[in-house]
Amino acid sequence: MIRIEHGAGGLEMSEFIAKYIAAKIPPSVRSTPGGYGLDYMDDGAAIDIGGGTYLVFTIDSYTVKPPKFPGGDIGKLAASGTINDLLMMGAKPLALVDAIVVEEGVSESLVEEVVESFASTAALAGAYVVGGDFKVMPKGSIDGIVVTSSGIGLTRNPLIDRRIRAGDVVIVSGPIADHGAVIAAAQLGLLDKVVGLASDARPLHDLMLPLIGKFGELIHAARDPTRGGLASVLYEWVRGTDLAVVVDRDSIPVREPTRKFLELLGVDPINSASEGVAVLAVPREVYPEVLELVRSLGYPDASVVGEVVEPSIEFLRGRVVARTEIGGYTLVEPSPLLTPRIC
């Protein structure tokens, strides 16, 4: 039986997709010739269209509740998420389409706001909105509004996360967990009691395009830590490999209002969603230049949070280990926030 955690972005979701979805698609149709498809389980697929150019394609559905929240709404969230998935694959976003499904009784003004937010966010990143779809379901058949967004972009150098290797340094572009925290507060009815929470939802074109232009193939992995947060990204990078990631908890940037609120809930920020943060793995010899560029592009809180290693202990292979505040070590397991409708 499908449970809510199967769609929440953590370990349960990864295992469900591998067993019940990916495994049912024949290997012969998982990738186009010369491309990168379902076998790579990245933020999108890269299709070789000849001449050294790849068409990158991505799709996602957004079911956040409430649909409007401090820092944005479901339209901004959908456009930002689609654009960022293209960017994390190394592509310059080109065009988006969206499909909106609403419950009977939803106000026209909400639909207008969502469409306007979607379009303005796409325009901010230089992407076009070239089509879409709209459906209405009977009352009680769907909870409010769901937006599915798909996008395409072009690249000559797909960023495939399987390039990650021992010796890579892990960088995050800014404070994590803001989106997960504000949605949790909204769902618990606590927004009026907590000061300073806001979603970080935004497109990362101003960060990723200069990084891709300057460092290209030296970016061994790139991801935005949405459902499941930073923990899920790092776990997905090394799962099934002989590698491990060691993170330093003290180095992970978290805004103080977000940290305090999540501590109140007993939630580790490393498991909480971000919608405007990039996680990068780059070779140790170039990370100072990468970090300097990230900060110069308007991301002053960018930090080195860990490293990729080849552990001598077999048990640690394919795992994420955190160096604690008191100098010890603990395993990090993906465990999404217990308010799963965060994106």
Please report the sign of the dihedral spanned by the C-alpha atoms of residue 114, residue 13, residue 243, residue 245.
positive
Domain boundaries, the chain: 31-155, 161-332
| 92-103 vs 128-137, strand pairing mode | parallel
For residue 124, is pLDDT > 70? Answer: yes
Confidence of residue 28 (pLDDT cuts 50, 70, 90): confident
Q: How much is the pLDDT for 25?
A: 76
Locate tokens 């325009």: which residue? 123
CATH architecture of 31-155: 2-Layer Sandwich (3.30)
Fold of 161-332: Phosphoribosyl-aminoimidazole Synthetase; Chain A, domain 2 (3.90.650)
For residue 325, is pLDDT > 80? Answer: no
Q: How much is the pLDDT for 237?
A: 95
Mean per-residue pLDDT over the chain, rounded? 91
Locate tokens 């805004």: which residue? 255
Three-state SS at 256: helix
- What whole-number distance in Å separates Cα of residue 46 and Cα of residue 254? 33
Token output for 34? 């010369």
Confidence of residue 31 (pLDDT cuts 50, 70, 90): confident
Nearest to 119 by CA among 203, 45, 61, 44: 203
Three-state SS at 133: strand
Q: How much is the pLDDT for 333?
A: 81
Instruction: State mean pLDDT over 71-92.
Output: 97
Q: How many alpha carbons lie under 13 Å from residue 343 in its C-beta half-sphere?
A: 34
Q: Residues 173-205: pLDDT tens digits?
A: 999 999 999 999 999 999 988 999 999 999 999
Q: How much is the pLDDT for 67?
A: 95
Confidence of residue 50 (pLDDT cuts 50, 70, 90): very high
% of the chain with per-residue pLDDT over 90: 74
Q: How much is the pLDDT for 149?
A: 97
Q: How much is the pLDDT for 7?
A: 64
Token output for 23? 């495994």
For residue 115, is pLDDT > 60? Answer: yes
Nearest to 309 by CA among 204, 170, 216: 170
For residue 165, is pLDDT > 60? Answer: yes
Q: How much is the pLDDT for 9?
A: 62
For residue 8, is pLDDT > 90? Answer: no
Instruction: State mean pLDDT over 25-35.
Output: 78
Instruction: State mean pLDDT over 194-219.
Output: 96
Instruction: State mean pLDDT over 122-151.
Output: 96
Could you list the beta-strand ranges (E) of the chain: 45-50, 53-62, 68-69, 72-73, 92-103, 128-137, 145-155, 168-172, 221-223, 244-248, 279-283, 303-309, 320-323, 329-332
Instruction: State mean pLDDT over 286-295.
Output: 98
Instruction: State mean pLDDT over 77-98.
Output: 97
Confidence of residue 343 (pLDDT cuts 50, 70, 90): low
Instruction: State mean pLDDT over 91-107.
Output: 97
Instruction: State mean pLDDT over 94-115.
Output: 97
161-170, 193-202, 325-334: lowest mean pLDDT where?
325-334
